[in-house]
Amino acid sequence: MHDFRLRFVRQNQADADAILTIYAPYVRGTPITFEYEVPDPVDFVGRIGSIAVQYPYIVGEREGKILAYAYASRHLERIAYTWDVQVSVYAAPEVQGVGMARALYTCLFGFLTKLGYRNAYAIITLPNSRSVRFHESFGFLPAGVHYKSGYKHGAWHDVTWMQKQLAEYPENPLPPKPVSALDAAFCERMFVSCPR
């Protein structure tokens, strides 16, 4: 049942706390993220704000409760990477497999394309066949493996990079626009129409 709605994150403590509730088990119990410690809740509001000022940061909620989120962020530092983003999606266990993550990613990629980005990169700790298949379903292709590149929970972990082309590559691309440049009506249409 697809009784959920999508919206942009709010840069407040309530949204930050809800997102941390989803994220914390991944930090504490898995190598999916290479963070060792759950971020401080107050600091996390700032982290969200530093991303959301430029890139789309979207949450999925049911009955007002945030249960999944997806966002884009800077890929690499050098100016030539301006048209690239790194993407992430996390979902609470109770909404995995119900289409919320798919809807979030569909909207995210629509927004990124509209803003002028060309490539999206996903960085996935291995083994994680479910995430690899999920990204493949969006057209992501393998872009290489970094072997034994992260150490967490007493083990070395391989990481695969996957790449999705968002748009064509013009000879003289304009710089991507910030998320604030998106038209409100366009955003609302995307949130409502994204495939579940």
**CATH number of the domain enclosing 135:** 3.40.630.30
Structural domain including 22 reads 5-193
Number of folded domains in the chain? 1
Asked if 19 contacts 44 with a C-beta cutoff of 8 angstroms, the reply is yes
The three-state secondary structure class of 167 is coil
pLDDT at 196: 60
Cα angle vertex 142, ends 194, 48, to 5°?
Answer: 50
Mean pLDDT by 10 residues, the chain (196 residues): 85 96 96 96 96 97 95 96 98 91 95 98 96 97 97 97 97 96 92 78
Exposure on the CB side of residue 138, measured as CA atoms within 13 A: 28
Q: E strand or H helix at 138, and its extent?
A: none
End-to-end CA distance of the chain: 10
Could you count the other beta carbons within 10 Å of the beta carbon of residue 18? 20
Asked if 196 contacts 11 with a C-beta cutoff of 8 angstroms, the reply is no
pLDDT at 2: 60
Please report the beta strands in 20-172, taking only residues with DSSP state E, as ranges in sequence order.
57-62, 65-74, 84-91, 119-125, 141-152, 155-165
- Distance CA(188)–CA(184), nearest Å, equals 6
pTM (2 d.p.): 0.94
pLDDT at 20: 97
Exposure on the CB side of residue 105, measured as CA atoms within 13 A: 24
Sign of the CA dihedral with 92 first, then 93, 99, and 105 last? positive
